[in-house]
Amino acid sequence: MDAAALVADTPRAQAAALRSGDITAVALAEATVAAAREVDARVNAFVTIDADAAGVAAEDADRRRARGEDGPLLGVPIAVKDDLDAAGHVTSWGSRARRTPATADSPVVATLRTAGLVPIGRTTLPELALYGFTESVRSGVTRNPIDTARTPGGSSGGSAAAVAGGAVGLATASDGAGSIRIPAGCCGLVGIKPGAGRTPGGGWNGLSVQGCLTRRVADSALYLDLIGDFPAPLADAAEQDPPPLRVGVDLASPVSPVLPLDPELEAALRRTAETLAGLGHDVREVRTRWGTAPLGFVARMLHGLAATAREVDDPTLLEARTAEVARIGGLVPDAAIAPARRQGAAVGRRLLADLAVDVLLTPPARGPAVPVGHWAGRRGLPTMLALGRHYAHTPGFNHTGQPAAVLPVGRSDVGLPLAVQLAVAPGEDARLVALAAQVERAVDAARE
């Protein structure tokens, strides 16, 4: 089998080739490292590419398979976002201010090792995972492989660029305000934010969860089953059509002042709504009432960012805008966090019920990927306000703990990915995966 061709294939296809003996994990790892170096030279997706460590992990995977072991992702290469601790390595979080090597693996990295995946390198992110673009003093500018003049989004921008560029089929990602879903929308990938507490994480006062970036819903579901705790396997849900659902379409921005919605993105959303109606779902337009929930989200996020900034080795090396946001976050009293968390959970329980819908269909942002440097030169607070207006549709579901997914549904006239977001009630991760996979199949069929 052509190892180079398999590198950019789906993790499920890679696992099948490894299981059948058509390729070894060592050969696949070598080809993946070579592809990663090529992609990195073009888009700056990696902090490090570690061929030696990948080779060791691949050899171990081959030995395990030779002993008769199997696993859904045994021997499959993976890129790891540089926000996950691996023993002996500095977890940079995109910052020059972090210098101390981790003393132990994070729960996710430990799970990856146990499952026999093959980490090939660590991917870039903005400083302290704070921004919806991946540009930092430490690592420079990460670019979108679809159009290198554009951002891949953030904070999981390096992971998205690695997958979209064909360096790897699977990369870890985390999401505290949209950091899985924003890069998915920018790069034409699948990004699923699981419900709160389903996967390791919990940073930013419970806003953040762990997940991944892939090209297909079923691959993301397979990975989430590996690292998460769900009542039923998500991989099974990806193979089944959901029952008829009530779908609410909300195109309005939940924050003010409102940015206009890109016309091509709006058209893609309306086509998706028509697709859902054609699949038997009851589709209607709604207007979500968030009330004061955005204030609760901001309190949790700023307070959490301030705590993260206090943990760095040398605060003087923080970028000026990050330090500014951290100082503002330091003004949020500890006593405000528990009420904010209760507010988020309460809004999550009633949000869809109040609209009498099972699912929300929204944009992931007010438009496709913006040019690199779009927010360069701004101070911390203006940067956050501008990001909040553009990426207005993702943070709310971190605050409420609701599962949400972004998936590609087409391209703009200039070739930029167009994507939609689906969100369901807390605890309905399987329903989200089933519906996302159904939409994915319908989009595939329309292209044929």
Q: Which helix (H) or strand (E) holds 220?
A: helix 217-227
Torsion angle of C-alpha atoms 153, 154, 157, 163, degrees rounded to 10: -70
- Of 39, 150, 213, which is closest to residue 415 (Cα–Cα)? 150
Residue 50 phi/psi, 5-degree rounding, is -115, 90
DSSP bridge pairs for 190: 214
Q: pLDDT band for position 448 (50/70/90)?
A: confident
pLDDT at 95 over 80: yes
In the chain, the amino acid numbered 227 is I
- The pLDDT of residue 207 is 98
Write the pLDDT tens digit of every residue in 36-53.
999 999 999 999 999 999
pTM: predicted TM-score of the whole model, two decimal places: 0.98
Q: Which helix (H) or strand (E) holds 4?
A: helix 3-7
107-131 confidence digits (pLDDT tens): 999 999 999 999 999 999 999 999 9
Average pLDDT for 435-443: 98
What type of residue is 187?
C
Tell me the average pLDDT of the chain.
97
Domains delineated in the chain: 3-236 (3.90.1300.10), 246-294+329-447 (3.90.1300.10)
Contact 152, 187 (CB under 8 A): yes
Q: What was the pLDDT predicted at 424?
A: 98
**How would residue 144 be classed by pLDDT, with cut points 50, 70 and 90?**
very high
Residues labelled catalytic? 81, 155, 179
Is 90 exceeded by the pLDDT of residue 8?
A: no
